[in-house]
Amino acid sequence: MPAIVVLGAQWGDEGKGKATDLLGSSIDYCVRYQGGNNAGHTIVINGEKFATHLLPSGILTPGCTPVIANGVVVDPAALFREVDGLQERGVDTSRLVVSANAHLITSYHTTVDKVTERFLGKNQIGTTGRGIGPTYADKINRIGVRVADILDEKILRQKVEAALDQKNHLLVKVYNRRAIEVDAVLEELGEYADRLKPMIADTSLVINRALDDDRTVLFEGAQATMLDVDHGTYPFVTSSNPTAGGVCAGAGIGPTRINRIIGVIKAYTTRVGSGPFPTELLDEDGERLREIGGEYGVTTGRNRRCGWYDAVIARYAARVNGLTEFCLTKLDILGAWDRIPVCVGYEIDGERVDEMPMTQSEFHHAKPIYEFFEGWNEDISGCRSFGDLPKNAQTYVRALEEMSGAPFWAVGVGPGREQTVILR
């Protein structure tokens, strides 16, 4: 199975890093196809914890080539901070390749991200402040600066000048901020140019050749289905396409290349930032999920909002991504409840709805309809096979599988690579 996609089925932080690592030993290439250093993926190897943000998690797998493809937005300062941090811990980063066509996040993008969020006031998205939205906006507006542009100083100056011409009008006249100097931006990018140059490649060619040679390539999604700019809870989304369709545009491969699409999904739900969340718990159960599940952001440290499993979202993710399977994570966290609610449908303005509603205003009005499952009240972190799980946990997993629209491949019972039950 040479091309495998691992992506988030909910609002992010499902455990994509762990799922990627789980496939690790058989992976030759690990590709990020969208997003940037807004991601925070945790990998625990032999009890040692690592977090990746812009880099593909496969960088931690010996022998794997990490690829930052064209659909990613790259903050060079963040890139080298992460590379240096991993090198200090003995990780070999020398294989890393970065697409010539990926767009660069500069200081004016992070400035605009933060300033526009403040300007939105109570309507703010709750972005990570990493400049993601403004960089993708420049890409679509055709005033972006790409990685290859740092290879030519003259072109780089022209492009930064053109982009800043617009930004400075906005910053000075609308937001009452100081203008950003072209030379300051060029100096900042210049600092990283020499280190970046040897990593730059035509990553579409690299990936397609690898697939031709029957090598295994894993495409690691960042963010998630419900944060997708087209299929998520717009406008409370990120600015890229984390869904499976994003892989083709973001990495330069054809859809016929893809063999497996794994949706990572938690045994409950979390969300960071603003936006609708039907099963959100604003009570003691929500607090307990956060505390027991350690639901605090890897990138921004913010509290994650917590709620019960939502099968409507699971079915939606199975549909828009064409999932071949799910990887269910964090089942162990639910060991502290006697009774576990699962959302099986919504009530919207007095009517029962079983699929994701068509409009965002309907989704805002969605009230979860719950089915209840008996808890198992025990520590399952040592279970290694389905038969090891308590009967009630087995029933919970099979019921979720039944209602979620794709078979379950694996179940996570702890953060470590080995803390996994493989179902098929």
Clarify whether 13 is annotated catalytic. Answer: yes
CB of 384 to ligand IMO, least distance (A): 26
Find the part of the chain contacting ligand GDP (CB under 6 A) among 102-110, 171-179, 364-372, 412-420: 412-420
User: What's the first-to-final CA gap in the chain, in angstroms?
Assistant: 15
Residue 330 within binding range of ligand GDP, rule CB under 6 A: yes
Find the part of the chain contacting ligand GDP (CB under 6 A) among 13-21, 158-166, 314-322, 334-342: 13-21
Residue 250 within binding range of ligand GDP, rule CB under 6 A: no
Report residue 162: phi and psi, to 5°: -65, -40
Nearer to ligand IMO, 132 or 403 (CB): 132
CB of 309 to ligand GDP, least distance (A): 14
Nearer to ligand IMO, 216 or 239 (CB): 239
Rounding to the nearest 10 degrees, give the CA dihedral for residues 20, 64, 320, 239. 100
Q: What angle do CA 13, 125, 174 make, to 5 degrees?
A: 145
- Site residues for Mg ion, 35-74, by CB under 5 A, read 40
Buried (b) or exposed (e) across 323-348, using 16+ Cβ within 10 A?
bbbbbbbbbbbbbbbeebbbbbbbeb
Q: Fill in the amino acid letter for 47.
A: G
- Per DSSP, the three-state class of 114 is helix
Helix 107-120 to helix 132-141 angle, to the nearest 10 degrees?
110
Residue 35 within binding range of ligand GDP, rule CB under 6 A: no
Q: Which of 10, 34, 37, 42 binds ligand GDP (CB under 6 A)?
A: 42
Give all strands of the β-sheet with 200-201 in edge-to-edge order.
200-201, 97-99, 65-68, 29-32, 217-220, 3-8, 260-266, 325-329, 408-412, 420-422
Cα 88 to Cα 98: distance, rounded to the nearest angstrom? 21
Residue 304 within binding range of ligand GDP, rule CB under 6 A: no
Q: Which residues bind ligand IMO (CB under 6 A)?
A: 8, 11-13, 38-41, 125-128, 130, 132-133, 222-224, 227, 238-239, 272-273
CB of 143 to ligand IMO, least distance (A): 19
Residue 273 within binding range of Mg ion, rule CB under 5 A: no
CA atoms within 13 A on the CB side of 206: 23
Residue 13 within binding range of Mg ion, rule CB under 5 A: yes
Nearer to ligand IMO, 68 or 210 (CB): 68
Catalytic pick from 13, 28, 75, 310? 13
Judged by beta carbon distances under 5 to 8 A according to partner kind, the member of Mg ion, ligand IMO, ligand GDP, none in contact with residue 38 is: ligand IMO
How, if at all, do strands 408-412 and 420-422 pair? antiparallel
Residue 263 within binding range of ligand GDP, rule CB under 6 A: no
Which H helix or E strand runs over 353? strand 351-353
The site string for Mg ion over 296-315 (x = CB under 5 A, - otherwise) reads --x-----------------
- Site residues for ligand GDP, 277-296, by CB under 6 A, read 294
Contacts of 23 (CB under 8 A, 6+ apart): 4, 6, 218
| Binding residues with ligand GDP: total (CB under 6 A) | 22
Nearer to ligand GDP, 200 or 298 (CB): 298
Clarify whether 92 is annotated catalytic. Answer: no
Nearer to ligand GDP, 40 or 58 (CB): 40
Residue 332 within binding range of ligand GDP, rule CB under 6 A: yes
Helix 76-88 to helix 182-196 angle, to the nearest 10 degrees?
40
Catalytic pick from 41, 53, 103, 109? 41
Q: Are 64 and 58 in contact (CB under 8 A)?
A: yes
Judged by beta carbon distances under 5 to 8 A according to partner kind, the member of Mg ion, ligand IMO, ligand GDP, none in contact with residue 133 is: ligand IMO
CA torsion through residues 323, 305, 231, 141, sign: negative
Query: Is residue 99 left, alpha or beta, with left meaning phi > 0 and alpha meaning psi from -120 to 50?
Result: beta
| Binding residues with Mg ion: total (CB under 5 A) | 3
The residues annotated as belonging to the active site are 13, 41
Binding stretches for ligand GDP (CB under 6 A): 8, 12-18, 40-42, 44, 294, 298, 329-330, 332-333, 412-415
